[in-house]
Amino acid sequence: MHTPDASAHHAAGRRRSRRRAARTLSAVLLAAALALAGCAADAGGDSDSGAGDGKAAGQRASGVHGPDGGQADESAAKAGEKPGASGAKQPRRPAGAHIIRTATLTVRVTDVPKALAEARTAAEDAGGIVGDEKTSRDGEGRDRSRVVLRVPQERYEEVLAALEGTGRLVARDAKAKDVTDQVVDVESRVRSQRASVARVRELMDEATKLSDVVTLEGELSARQADLEALLARRASLKDRTTLATITLSLTERSARADSGNDDDPTLVDALAGGWNAFVTVLRWIGIALAGVLPFAAVAALLLLLWLRVVRPRLPRHARPAGPGNDDGGA
């Protein structure tokens, strides 16, 4: 039989056991909750990172950097600047590119010698040179000049604008040809050919037989010729990509046409055109008559022979007798 003290002691022991079990269960549950929270955080971080990377990749693909990146890049593109670089102008020629620029201008001016001097000055001030030049005079006494100018690529547009300002622009044809691939190919072939020439020379130094020396000399001459051709081509490409070529044609016009719009016809122009048409018609009529004249002369001669020689000799037919021509009329 249990005493009250034993019963109380036994009840207290059970309560302590329950509290220890509850604390142990709480610790296990807390550890499990922390583990689950860590896994969820890692998964969320990975998904957020992937989403962020995808978003960043999308922004890079579309040229957008930041909230206002699209508008900034669009404005920069309209202003001739590189997207994403504020205040940086887009270069006219990409770095490492080799471009051949040529232009042909036809300008109508009042004073051809003066305009030609201005063109020379513009090219020389830009660091260029004046090439071929030809001046002539047409049937109406007007001067015509044609000059070839070579100017640096950096001053190409500036010189073009200066030349167009010497008078009235009639025609303009500007071309740009990218020869970067050709330049790279020639440079590579030059290096290879130089190495080949060097190898042949080394073999010549080591050769002991006369036949080998003769063979190697022929091979060396051929390879040096190929190398010189490549060097000449490289020099030509360098010259054409360094200096742009502008062909300028100057034609003279009268002061009256220079003061107004010479494309609008006037009364004098109409009269002159009508007189020229009349003279042209008369000239063609004269040409036609000159072509028909031999045939007309032959026809007139044949008609004259018929009337004067052949017709009088033809026998005349007797006129038929009528009532009034009888000899024994009543």
- 142 compared with 126, residue with greater pLDDT: 126
- What phi-psi label fits residue 134: left (phi over 0), alpha (psi between -120 and 50 degrees) or beta? beta
Encoding tokens for residue 286? 């004269």
* pLDDT score recorded for residue 88: 35
Q: Within 13 Å of residue 41, how many CA atoms lie on the same side as its CB?
A: 6
* pLDDT score recorded for residue 297: 87
CB-CB contact of 152 with 128 (8 Å): yes
Give the DSSP letter of residue 282.
H
Residue from 245, 236, 232, 107 nearest 176 by CA: 245
Measure the CA–CA gap between 142 and 147, rounded to whole angstroms.
17
Residue from 137, 102, 107 nearest 119 by CA: 107
Backbone phi, then psi, for 281, in 5-degree steps? -65, -45
Q: Provide the 10 A C-beta neighbour count for residue 220.
A: 17
Please give the biggest Cα pair distance in the chain: 213
Confidence of residue 40 (pLDDT cuts 50, 70, 90): very low
Measure the CA–CA gap between 106 and 280, rounded to whole angstroms.
31
3-state secondary structure of 328: coil
C-alpha distances in Å from residue 316, one per residue of 311, 312, 319: 10, 9, 9
* pLDDT score recorded for residue 234: 94
* pLDDT score recorded for residue 213: 84
* pLDDT score recorded for residue 324: 52
Give the DSSP letter of residue 330.
-
Q: What number does CATH give the domain 99-178?
A: 3.30.70.260
pLDDT exceeds 70 at position 68: no
Residue with tokens 């008559």: 289
pLDDT digits (tens, 9 = 90+) for 232-291: 999 999 999 999 999 999 998 765 544 445 556 677 778 888 888 988 999 899 898 888
pLDDT exceeds 70 at position 193: yes
Report the DSSP pairing between strands 143-152 and 243-252. Answer: antiparallel
Helical pair 156-164 and 112-125, crossing angle rounded to 10 deg:
160
Q: What is the mean pLDDT of residues 30-49?
A: 48
Amino acid (one-letter) located at 249 = S
CA angle 186–188–193, rounded 5-degree value: 90
- Is the overall model pTM greater than 0.75, yes or no? no
Measure the CA–CA gap between 244 and 159, rounded to whole angstroms.
10
The string over 3-18, giving b where at least 16 C-beta atoms fall within 10 Å of a residue's C-beta and e elsewhere, is eeeeeeeeeeeeeeee
Confidence of residue 77 (pLDDT cuts 50, 70, 90): very low
Confidence of residue 7 (pLDDT cuts 50, 70, 90): low
pLDDT digits (tens, 9 = 90+) for 147-162: 999 999 999 999 999 9
* pLDDT score recorded for residue 93: 55
Measure the CA–CA gap between 4 and 2, rounded to whole angstroms.
7
Helical pair 180-206 and 210-242, crossing angle rounded to 10 deg:
160
- What phi-psi label fits residue 269: left (phi over 0), alpha (psi between -120 and 50 degrees) or beta? alpha
Within 214-300, strands assigned E span 243-252
pLDDT exceeds 50 at position 230: yes
Amino acid (one-letter) located at 235 = A
Contacts 24+ apart (CB under 8 A), 138-143: 142/251, 142/252, 142/253, 143/112, 143/113, 143/250, 143/252
Percent of the chain with pLDDT over 90: 33
Q: What is the mean pLDDT of residues 119-133?
A: 90
Mean pLDDT across the chain, nearest whole number?
A: 74
Poorest-confidence range of 91-100, 121-130, 255-264?
A: 255-264
* pLDDT score recorded for residue 268: 76
Measure the CA–CA gap between 62 and 198, rounded to whole angstroms.
51
* pLDDT score recorded for residue 46: 45
Q: What is the mean pLDDT of residues 91-120?
A: 84
The domain spans of the chain are 1-52, 99-178, 181-239
